[in-house]
Structures are given as C-alpha cells and as structure tokens.
C-alpha cells in the first residue's frame, strides 16, 4: 500500500555542515541502492535517496542536505522524533560488473555510498569518485574506506584531494583502469559530462536522475521526462546510457511543480 | 476495420479506450507514450489559464480499492501547454481537458487550443479544485449550462463535459449539459472527497486534508451513473471510474457508455493495461460473436 509508515529517528549522523543522515529501524526486504523513499514530516513530503541499507540490523538511512524549507524542518528533528516513510520506490542500480567506477557529486553521494557498500560486500572491486565543493562537504569517506572500496576524492576549491571536478577525476580513473560498469548520481551537469565520457570509453553506465515529484506512485505525471514520457519515480530514477540517449531533456531542462520548464544551468 | 473501432462525435478511434484526464498527460511525451501503449485516444491533464503549482505534498495516498488525491490541478498554463500539444505525434485523437472558474475563462482557453486538439473535455468536476473551479461548477446545473453554452458558442471541435458524481441528481446536471450543446458526457470524475488519517499521529495524510477517490472502489457508482444518465440523454457517454480489466469495460458498455477511459489502474497494471484490456475485449467479442462495440452499448437497458 502506498501509505506512509511512521518511524522514529533512531540515530542522527552529522555528515557535514549541511548534511545529516537519519537512521531508522526498517524491515529490509526489497530495498536496493538507488531506491528512494517519500519522506513525510507531517507538513510536506519529498523524495529522498536511501543512503544506507543494512539487512542484518534491519536499518535504513536517509541523508538530507539542508537546502530549503522542508529540509531545514527535517534537520531540526531529534532522535526519537517521527517521520513518515513510504517506499521503497523506483528502479535502483543494477549491481553488475567485476570492477566498477562509482561517481558521486554533492548529496548525490547518498545512493553512491549505499551502492559501494553493497557492491563491495558482493566482492566487486569498486572505485569511488567522491566530489564536493570543499573539504568539509566531502561525504561518507569513512564508510567507503571501511567497505573496502577505493576512495578518490576531489574538491572544486582544492581544499582536499584532487583539485577539480568529479568528472576530471573520473576521466583520469577511466584512462588508467578498465571498468565494466560506471554508476553515478550528482548534479545533472556533472552526469551529462560523465555520460559523454563513458560513451567515449565504451563502458556501460547507469545514472540516477532527479525530477520534481508529487505522487511517487506513477500516476500524476509530474516527473515524466521527454521524449519517452517515462516516469522517473517508476521507470527511473536510475537509467542506463542507452535509455538516457532517449531522454532528450537530460542535461537540458527540468520541470517545476506546475510543469513549467527550466533550463539546467 | 477491426471490431474494436468506434466513432465518437465524428472522431474515429481504433478502439474504445482513452487515457483519463489527470493521470500522466501533462506532457506530449507521456501522452505519446500512452498512445504507443495502445490507447484509442488520449486526454491531457487539465490545464487552465495560468501556471498552477497545485497543492503541496502529500498529494496522493492509497486507500482500499484505489487512491485519494489532491493534486490541485497543477499545470503550466495554457500557453506552455500549447507547446506540448504541438508535439503530440497525432497517432491517436487527443482531447484537451481544460478548467476555469467562469464561462469567460473556459471560452478563452478553448479558443486558444482548439486548433491543436480533436476535442475538448471541460473539467467541471474536480473535487479538490481551488477558487470556484471544478466541482463547484459541476454541482450547479445552471452554471454548468452557462459554461458549456459559452464554450460551444465558438468551439469548432466536439465538446465533452466531465461530470461529478457528488451531486443529488446527476441526471439533472447531464440534461443541462446536453441542453447547452455538449457533444458527449464523460462520467465520472473522482468521488468524495475522501480522507485518510494517519493512525500513529492522528494527522490527515493529504496536505489538503481531503481528496478525490478514484480506482476500483468507485466503479459501481460510475456504472450506476452511466446507467441512469443513458436513458435521459441522446448524446454519447464516455465511461470512467475504476476500470482495471476488460470485464470492467464490458460493464460500462452494457450500462451505456460508448467508450471508456482508464486512469488509476495504471498504478496497478503499468502501461500494459491498454493492450491487456483490448486483447481481453476482442477475445470476448469474438467468442460472443459481436461484430462491433456499438452492439454492446446499452445492453443492460434491454
């Protein structure tokens, strides 16, 4: 049933000055990296990527960057406070390939860290490019290292790791390694660049898209993408490169709550 | 000519199924996808004069037998919507669902889009609209008549009127719409409105607190509405409400609908629902020896 399940916040992890991870008890059944939950704070409801899936302790985590009204309300919550979660929704990452490059930018690292933990657990060699604007905003470094994945960090301002964009570091990694798969989540401009790059390197890749969502259950049409009409909440949010070639709006524009198009900067 | 082909108000359709207004349908891409999935026609999500964000989330929640929603008629406004209509691939007829608060608004929108659609469907029946739109009109026979008359005065394409079941006497509204010149009636819009309250916190789940009920739960009421109105009007009826498989379609046709629309059940069945229903319907007609959909329409009235 598509109804919110009320859960108590079990732990809160301060990931960076702007990002918190909220951990909940949750019977893990079909949840996979790339899935998202509709998060209800009894005032508004937004789609959020699952950033941690622990099928042993039956916990999931959701990482939220404080960027607006809803997220700042959620950031004020304490351990023991309640939220409504409905999901998991969408099509997540397909875990495949013996050596995988995972590229995350900003809060896009949320599903990427969940993916690298899952893939590493299965014995896949994972290299993670973690990109952030500055050192304090680099996310999930400890978890990635602990999972056994190789961590490659970069910051826009050069305050930590490689100085430059995630795509620069990804290009370096792609030149020096033979990957069987690339997965990515982050700003669309970054993913568009990476999309062009993996085409050049001829590596299969999956990208997690973000669009304005209302129902989350495939009915309202708010998150449909041009030119196929696919629903990001059902057919996505993760798309393969061959599918992205048919998503003509990828890297170009997205629609707001009323459906008006806005250019992607 | 296949046995599924029909003609509605002069519009040829390859089969009697349409996408219902409000489900997907806010972009040309999603309408084209539905057309590619087998629908005989597509109806857009309702749009009005100006961009409208609708209500804040949660806008939709599942209930037994369907969903309740209060999307709040979100749409990018007629001028933006025209760009979408221009991109329709025209493989099947397209019906523009429009809404407004008064006759002038309806007429203005109708005039601006009638060159880009095969028919108009007037949404005078949304149960969660703001500012005097939706069911506030469709529950008033005189206001309904005024709006249909106003649109019909200038419209060069067929005008369908979508009715709300949330009235004491739907026949009265249907008669007024017909008198005003409606070419067909679409019935029914979502029911209620209804509510769902979270049992843990006691909070109404929808941000708007209440929303329209759609899905299989509303089907018996829709069937009854179609059955009642069929005897009282001479214009075709487009049946909608809770259709999930071809047997549901048959019930609507028996009750008197000339064709039907599918909406909420896309959530259960995915986009394959059109093909599944059409295969079932054609098989049934073949077994029973029906040569056309028209032969089935209104059978329950014999």
| pLDDT value at B272 more than 80 | yes
8 A C-beta contact, residue A225 and residue A247? yes
Alpha carbons B58 and A40: distance in angstroms, whole number: 8
| Ramachandran class of B82: left when φ > 0, alpha when ψ lies in -120 to 50, beta otherwise | alpha
Residue B130 pLDDT class (50, 70, 90 cuts): confident
Q: How many domains does chain B have?
A: 1
CB pairs under 8 A between A and B: 135
Domain CATH code at residue B258: 3.20.20.70
CB contact under 8 A, A258 and B56: no
Do A255 and A184 belong together in one domain?
Answer: yes
Q: With respect to residue A55, please indicate whether it lies within any of the assigned structural domains.
A: yes
Strands A99-105 and B60-63 come out as unpaired
For residue B205, which residues of chain A lie inside 8 Å, CB to CB? 3-4, 40, 84
Residues A61 and A105 in one domain: no
- Provide the chain B residues 155-184 that lie in CB contact (below 8 A) with chain A: none
* Segments forming the whole domain that contains residue A37: 5-89
Using the Cβ of A231 and the Cβ atoms of chain B, whether some distance falls under 8 Å is answered with: yes
Q: What size, in residues, is chain A?
A: 265
Radius of gyration of chain B (CA): 18
Q: How many domains does chain A have?
A: 2
- What's the average model confidence in pLDDT over A3-8? 98
Mark whether A175 and A74 lie in a shared domain.
no
Instruction: At B132, list the tokens.
Output: 């005097």
Q: What is the pLDDT of residues A134-184, one digit of tens each?
A: 999 999 999 999 999 999 999 999 999 999 999 999 999 999 999 999 999
Q: Are residues A109 and A229 in the same domain?
A: yes
CA pair distance A87, A108, nearest whole angstrom: 19
The model's confidence at residue B133, banded by pLDDT at 50, 70 and 90, is: confident
Burial tier of A167 (Cβ tally within 10 Å: 0-12, 13-18, 19+): buried
Residues A193 and A227 in one domain: yes
In angstroms, what separates the C-alpha of B51 from chain A's closest C-alpha?
A: 6
CATH number for the domain spanning A11: value is 2.40.30.10
User: pLDDT confidence of B1, banded at 50, 70, 90?
Assistant: low
Tokens standing for B280? Answer: 């079932």
Residue A94: inside a domain: no
Q: Scanning every residue of chain A, which has its alpha carbon at the shortest distance from the alpha carbon of B78? A: A260
Q: Is the peptide bond before B77 cis (omega within 30 degrees of 0)?
A: no
- Single residue among A44, A69, A89 that ends a domain in this structure: A89
Which residues, at least 6 apart from A76, have a Cβ–Cβ distance to it below 8 Å? none
Task: Compute the Cα dihedral for A42, A43, A47, A52 and give only its sign.
Answer: negative
Q: Which residues of B are known to be catalytic?
A: 126
Q: Which domain holds residue B272?
A: 6-51+73-193+216-301
Same domain, A10 and A132: no
Q: What pLDDT, in 10s, does the model give residues B160-188?
A: 999 999 999 999 999 999 999 999 999 99
Task: Evaluate whether B173 touches B122 at the Cβ level (below 8 Å).
Answer: no
Question: Model-level pTM?
Answer: 0.95
Q: Do residue A73 and residue A112 come from a single domain?
A: no
Q: Could you tell me if residue A84 is inside a domain?
A: yes
DSSP element (H, E) containing A207: strand A205-208
Residue A46 shares a structural domain with residue A152: no
End position of a domain, from candidates A40, A59, A89: A89
- At residue B131, the pLDDT reads 82
Check whether the bond before B93 is cis (ω within 30° of 0): no
């Amino acid at each position: 049933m598509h109804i919110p399940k009320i859960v108590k916040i079990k732990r809160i992890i301060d990931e960076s000055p702007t990002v918190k991870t909220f951990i909940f008890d949750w019977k893990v059944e079909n949840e996979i990296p790339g899935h998202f939950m509709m998060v209800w704070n009894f005032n508004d409801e937004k789609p959020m990527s699952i950033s941690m899936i622990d099928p042993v302790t039956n916990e999931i985590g959701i990482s939220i960057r404080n960027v607006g009204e809803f997220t700042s309300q959620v950031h004020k919550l304490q351990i023991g406070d309640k939220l409504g979660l409905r999901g998991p929704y969408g099509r997540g990452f397909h875990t495949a390939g013996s050596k995988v490059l995972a590229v995350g930018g900003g809060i896009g690292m949320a599903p990427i860290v969940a993916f690298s933990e899952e893939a590493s657990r299965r014995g896949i060699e994972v290299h993670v490019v973690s990109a952030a604007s500055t050192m304090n905003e680099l996310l999930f470094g400890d978890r990635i290292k602990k999972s056994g994945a190789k961590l490659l960090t970069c910051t826009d301002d050069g305050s930590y790791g490689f100085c430059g964009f995630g795509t620069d570091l990804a290009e370096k990694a792609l030149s020096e390694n033979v990957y069987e798969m690339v997965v990515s989540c982050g700003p669309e401009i970054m993913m568009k660049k990476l999309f062009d790059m993996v085409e050049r390197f001829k590596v299969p890749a999956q990208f997690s898209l973000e669009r304005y969502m209302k129902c989350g259950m495939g009915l309202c049409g708010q998150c449909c993408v041009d030119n196929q009409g696919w629903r990001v909440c059902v057919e996505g949010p993760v798309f393969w490169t061959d599918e992205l070639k048919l998503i003509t709006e990828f890297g170009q524009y997205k629609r707001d709550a009323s459906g008006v198009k806005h250019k992607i900067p | 000519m296949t046995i599924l082909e029909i003609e509605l108000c002069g519009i040829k359709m390859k089969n009697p199924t349409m996408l219902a207004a409000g489900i997907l349908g806010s972009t040309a891409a999603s309408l084209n996808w539905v057309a590619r999935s087998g629908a005989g026609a597509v109806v857009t999500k309702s749009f009005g004069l100006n961009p409208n964000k609708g209500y804040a989330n949660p806008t939709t929640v599942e209930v037994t037998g369907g969903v309740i929603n209060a999307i709040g008629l979100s749409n990018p406004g007629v001028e933006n919507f025209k760009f979408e209509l221009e991109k329709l691939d025209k493989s099947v007829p397209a019906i523009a669902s429009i809404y407004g608060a008064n006759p002038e608004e309806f007429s203005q929108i109708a005039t601006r889009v009638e060159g880009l659609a095969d028919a108009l469907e007037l949404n005078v029946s949304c149960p969660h609209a703001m500012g005097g739109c939706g069911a506030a009109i469709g529950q008033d026979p005189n206001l309904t008549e005024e709006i249909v008359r106003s649109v019909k005065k200038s419209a060069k394409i067929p005008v369908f009127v979508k009715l709300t079941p949330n009235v004491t006497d739907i026949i009265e509204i249907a008669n007024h719409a017909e008198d005003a010149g409606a070419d067909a009636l679409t019935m029914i819009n979502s029911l209620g409105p209804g509510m769902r309250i979270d049992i843990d916190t006691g909070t109404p789940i929808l941000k708007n607190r209440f929303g329209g009920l759609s899905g299989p739960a509303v089907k018996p009421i829709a069937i009854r509405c179609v059955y009642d109105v069929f005897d009282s009007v001479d214009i075709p009826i487009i049946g909608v409400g809770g259709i999930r498989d071809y047997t549901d379609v048959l019930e609507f046709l028996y009750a008197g609908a000339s064709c039907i629309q599918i909406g909420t059940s896309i959530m259960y069945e995915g986009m394959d629902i059109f093909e599944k229903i059409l295969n079932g319907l054609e098989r049934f007609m073949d077994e029973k020896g029906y040569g056309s959909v028209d032969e089935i329409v209104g059978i329950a009235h014999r």
